[in-house]
Amino acid sequence: MATHSEMALRQIAGLCDDVKTCPKIFEDGSDVVVQGYDLDSATEGQLYLPDGESAVRLPGQLVLDAARRLIEGP
């Protein structure tokens, strides 16, 4: 498991300007941090999530936007 860096998160994709309330994808050194919607219990029940892992739901376009920005660089 990757360790958290001391660098500030850099937003690379998001659906709104308010960092606190909608799905976003951030860069943290060589890692990516995601902020998304909680899963309902039926969806979460289909996953095996070991201790220390969690899953969130993201719009597909957000993932595509983030991938494009990661490839292009800062």
Is the residue at 36 inside a domain? yes
Is the residue at 5 inside a domain? no
Q: How many domains does the chain have?
A: 1
Give every CB contact of residue 16 below 8 A, 6+ residues apart in sequence: 22
Is the residue at 57 inside a domain? yes
pLDDT at 1 over 50: no
Mean pLDDT over 56-67 rounds to 94
Is the residue at 2 inside a domain? no
- The whole-model pTM stands at 0.79
Instruction: Provide the residue range defining the domain that includes 49.
Output: 10-72
- pLDDT, tens only, 24-52: 999 998 899 999 999 999 999 999 999 99
In this prediction, residue 62 has a pLDDT band, given cuts at 50, 70 and 90, of very high
Distance CA 29, CA 9 (A): 8
